[in-house]
Amino acid sequence: MAENQVEPIILIHGGAGDIPESKVQGKLDGIRKAVRLGHKKFLETGCVLGGTQAAIEYMEEDDNFNAGRGSVLTTEGEIEMEALIVDGKDIKVGSVTGVKNILHPIALARLVMEKTPHGILSGDGANEFGLRMGLPQVSECDLITETARSALEKFLREGKDPNVTEIGSSGVGTVGAVAVDARGHMVSCTSTGGITGKMKGRVGDTPIPGSGGYADDNIGSVSTTGHGDSILRYCVAHRILNYIEQGLSATEASQKALDGMAARVGKTAGAITVTKTGEVGIYFNSQKMAWAYIRGNKLHYGIQPGQEVVLYHKEIVVIIKRNKNWLNMCIINLDKNWL
């Protein structure tokens, strides 16, 4: 790697909260597949935006996550999805809220960023724009799962207030991805169904730049998850980047912002962060947060506090030596399951 080059990384999360043990395996399987897919796309195209979007789209299709199919429901039993993309090169933003009948809100957020003069589209306007852009339409039945229905029934039966509900008790979770390429270019992507029992029209943290996510090539990239109304009030994503700019490491900055949020406005959350130098920050003060990243030939993942599992990409390195110069290096993937 040339000097001043960053070792590329793609880091994703599958939601923070009180995730029941019965949901852990499904989330871990999903998050490992999603990060591999995002990494593969990134290697094929060299594009961080394409890589992060591919990882998010995988999780939007997997009902182990609260995004796209599997999104949680409003008190009226409906889905209102939200998504945000931030491109760190010139801090361009694309965001949608109150979106229905599409599988990939993240694709719609990207279209807002690339094809409109605006940053955020909401409700009918966002849905109509998706239709005009030719995004495939799906019925609500294709998106609403049994898990989401029973989480709402339980919520209504127990007469809960969404503000006192610990996020993730439905067992699913918001999804997010951050990445940096070799030139230090970064993006942040986040997608969610929000929180079970939210009011119709509620806007959470996810679609709000600086709360649900943020990216600035001069500093780093963040995606958050957890109690959205608290994350929103404390501008968690932007705060993390501010702390990094002041000299804190990615982990210290995430911890300071999230513990600061819990102390100042209450509730719990988590965040994933990469810096412009490729430093990784993973922190949550909720009970669990599924996360995974690939850098080089290693896949790291975890879901419990302090847990980190590392998988190695098995390889043979064949080195051809000619004229006393190391000429060529060929890497053969032996482990077909890795990618």
Ligand X SMILES: NC(=O)C[C@H](N)C(=O)O
Q: What is the dihedral of CA 306, 339, 326, 328, to 10 degrees?
A: -170
Is there binding between residue 225 and ligand X (CB under 6 A)?
yes
Is there binding between residue 173 and ligand X (CB under 6 A)?
yes
* Nearest by Cα to 73 from 140, 130, 18, 159: 140
Is there binding between residue 84 and ligand X (CB under 6 A)?
no
Is there binding between residue 204 and ligand X (CB under 6 A)?
yes
Instruction: Choose one: 37-45, 153-161, 199-207, 311-319; the region binding ligand X (CB under 6 A).
Output: 199-207
- Decide: 175 and 184 in contact? Cβ < 8 Å: no
Catalytic residues: 174
Stretch 138-167 residues interacting with ligand X (CB under 6 A): 167
Q: Which DSSP symbol is given to 116?
A: S
Q: Counting Cβ atoms within 10 Å, is residue 245 exposed (0-12), middle (13-18) or buried (19+)?
A: middle
Is there binding between residue 255 and ligand X (CB under 6 A)?
no
Is there binding between residue 226 and ligand X (CB under 6 A)?
yes
Stretch 17-56 residues interacting with ligand X (CB under 6 A): 17
Is there binding between residue 15 and ligand X (CB under 6 A)?
yes
Is there binding between residue 130 and ligand X (CB under 6 A)?
no
Is there binding between residue 71 and ligand X (CB under 6 A)?
no
Q: Shortest approach of ligand X to residue 229 CB, angstroms?
A: 7
Q: Which DSSP symbol is given to 115?
A: H
- Give the residue carrying structure tokens 């935006």: 49
Residues sharing a CB contact under 8 Å with residue 240, sequence separation 6 or more, in sequence order:
214, 220, 222, 250, 253, 254, 257, 271, 273, 281
Q: Shortest approach of ligand X to residue 187 CB, angstroms?
A: 19
Binding residues for ligand X, rule CB under 6 A, total 17
Question: Quick one: which of 192, 196, 268, 273 contacts ligand X (CB under 6 A)?
Answer: 192
Question: Quick one: which of 52, 53, 66, 254 contacts ligand X (CB under 6 A)?
Answer: 66
Q: Shortest approach of ligand X to residue 199 CB, angstroms?
A: 12
Q: Counting Cβ atoms within 10 Å, is residue 122 exposed (0-12), middle (13-18) or buried (19+)?
A: middle
Query: Cα separation of 49 and 160, whole Å?
Result: 38
Question: Quick one: which of 130, 184, 194, 302 contacts ligand X (CB under 6 A)?
Answer: 194
Q: Which is nearer to ligand X, 133 or 265 (CB)?
A: 265
Question: Quick one: which of 37, 55, 113, 195 contacts ligand X (CB under 6 A)?
Answer: 195
Query: Cα separation of 12 and 280, whole Å?
Result: 11
Say whether 64 sits in a helix, a strand or coil. coil
Is there binding between residue 181 and ligand X (CB under 6 A)?
no
- Decide: 224 and 269 in contact? Cβ < 8 Å: yes
Residues in contact with ligand X by the rule CB under 6 A: 15, 17, 66, 167-168, 173-174, 192, 194-195, 204-206, 225-226, 228, 231
